[in-house]
Amino acid sequence: MRAFPCRLFETHPEVKPLFSFFKEDAEVSGDNAGMRQHGLTVMETVNAAVEHIRNSTLGELAEDLFDLGAVHHTLQVNIAEQHFAVSARSIVHCLHTCSIIYTLSALKVNCINYSSEMSYK
């Protein structure tokens, strides 16, 4: 599975110049510390958003997202609306892939546990 930032830059290389951790000819690689950190920050933000929704603290979520938008606005790069759309699709793909892997792992553990229980009967 390719992590969120790798997938984003592989499917939409035109967004690479928007990120300070990429040099002009930099390859997309999990070895890029800046890319790894940004991916982690994005996933932490998604997790925080989910927690706000679970806890019904939508006002705080709105404030956090407003602050995030303000940070991106101050970056002085030409971020267009479509850039957020392709980022969102990459994040959703990553979450979907992770949920499938997690579900399959949980099923495997449950099957192993069930099989072990059945062997004793």
What are the CA-CA distances from residue 115 to residues 102, 105, 121 (Å)? 20, 15, 10
Read off the pLDDT of residues 7-42 as tens digits, 9 standing for 90 and up.
Answer: 787 888 888 888 877 765 566 666 777 878 887 888
Read off the pLDDT of residues 41-67 as tens digits, 9 standing for 90 and up.
Answer: 888 888 888 888 888 888 998 999 899
Residue-by-residue DSSP string for 64-96: HHHHHHHHHHTT-S---HHHHHHHHHHHHHHHH
Counted domains in the chain = 1
| Host domain of residue 106 | 4-119
Quote the DSSP letter at residue 120.
T
Q: Read off the pLDDT band of 91 (50, 70, 90).
A: confident
